[in-house]
Amino acid sequence: MFVPKYFLEPQIAAVLTYQALIPAIRRALIDYSRGLAGGVDQPLRSILRVKDLQGNPSGWFAAMPVIAGEYMAVKTVTFFPGNSSLRGDAALPTHLAMIELLDRATGQPLAVMDGRLITEMRTAAVSAVAAQELAPNAKTLGILGSGVQARSHIEALRVTHPAFREEDAIHIFSRNVEKATAIAEEMNAAVVPIEEAAGCDIVLTVTAATQPVLFGKWLTPGSLVIGVGAVSPTSRELDDEVMAGTLITESRQSAENESGDVLLSGAKVFAEIGQVMAGSAPPLPAGRLVFKSLGMGIEDLVGARLVWEALKSR
């Protein structure tokens, strides 16, 4: 009798690399934009808003199923911002996840794996793919935020943009100066005022903000903005002036149903990044580009597949 494997985060960290993940995510995003013709069947994620026993909002719980290639997968993921205040033995990340990988031919579960690191890395890999396509010659990177995604994005973007390894190429702003300083010292970056970070070639927002923190008046005309935080219909990171740039998304359906930056600004999706990379989108207009990332099940499946194929023989 076959027993599904269970993979812990240290096992995943030992085999999952951005060098393998980034090109695999690029292919998956192109396939996704081709729909069923690309072999990807993926509905919108299902999200439950969680309240504690006293009725106070405390987080959310989502399920993300997908079918692609030889596999099926479903990720369950939670976001509990209050976890950031937990210390000692009770400490927990704000995002926690599990991914189940199944055989498409039989429906047999193949593996269950910790999804936190896969989620972290695939999110950064998506941004790296978008940056490689939309701003291949960028020399400076501004980051708003100092959580785990700030660090993972630096690692991923240095794969696609070697210029970001240079001195003074990466500028970080965060309200948490201590955390920003720690990342800057570790990653050879600089802590700067928010306006300076927003003046870079690529501006990345990875915050927990619910109201805009990046304003268009700070941006240079030809910059690329990558919005990663604010993944609910009621939260935002980017103001209306930022959202007036040409808007590229992972998924038009997701952006038009799940993104507060899109819904509350009234911005219209120009194209999906998979369409841009495949050459099926109209030519991109000159001026500022905005890439809104929300995360998709196909990206989790890609990460889980790479882990499974690396570890199954062991």
Q: What is the CATH number for 102?
A: 3.30.1780.10
68 and 176 part of one domain: no
Question: In the chain, how many domains are there?
Answer: 2
Residue 7: its H or E element: strand 5-7
CATH of the domain at 189: 3.40.50.720
Summarize the confidence of residues 143-154 as an average pLDDT. 95
71 and 165 part of one domain: no
Domain around 223: 126-296
**pTM of this prediction?**
0.94
248 and 292 part of one domain: yes
202 and 102 part of one domain: no
User: What local confidence, expressed as pLDDT, does residue 1 receive?
Assistant: 66
* Phi, psi (rounded to 5 degrees) for 151: -65, -45
114 and 155 part of one domain: no
Structure token pair of residue 159: 């794969």
94 and 230 part of one domain: no
Q: Helices 116-134 and 148-160 sit at what angle, rounded to 10 degrees?
A: 40
Q: Is the pLDDT of residue 289 over 90?
A: yes
| Contact yes or no for 38/69 (Cβ under 8 A) | no
Q: Is the pLDDT of residue 26 over 70?
A: yes
Rounded Cα–Cα distance for residues 311 and 13 (Å): 11
User: What local confidence, expressed as pLDDT, does residue 85 receive?
Assistant: 84
Q: What's the DSSP call for residue 250?
A: S
**11-32 as b/e, with b when 16 or more CB fall inside 10 Å?**
bbeeebebebbbebbbebbbbb
290 and 151 part of one domain: yes
User: What local confidence, expressed as pLDDT, does residue 123 receive?
Assistant: 97
Q: Read off the pLDDT of residues 61-85 as tens digits, 9 standing for 90 and up.
A: 999 999 999 999 999 999 898 888 8
Residue 202: which of 286, 143, 118, 254 has the closest Cα?
A: 143
110 and 168 part of one domain: no
112 and 138 part of one domain: no
Q: Read off the pLDDT of residues 219-275 as tens digits, 9 standing for 90 and up.
A: 999 999 999 998 889 999 999 999 999 999 999 999 999 999 999 999 999 999 999
| Contact yes or no for 93/80 (Cβ under 8 A) | no
| Contact yes or no for 59/48 (Cβ under 8 A) | no
Distance separating the N- and C-terminal Cα atoms of the chain = 18
Please, where are the H alpha helices in 161-251?
177-187, 194-197, 240-243
307 and 199 part of one domain: no
Summarize the confidence of residues 110-128 as an average pLDDT. 96
53 and 113 part of one domain: yes
73 and 144 part of one domain: no
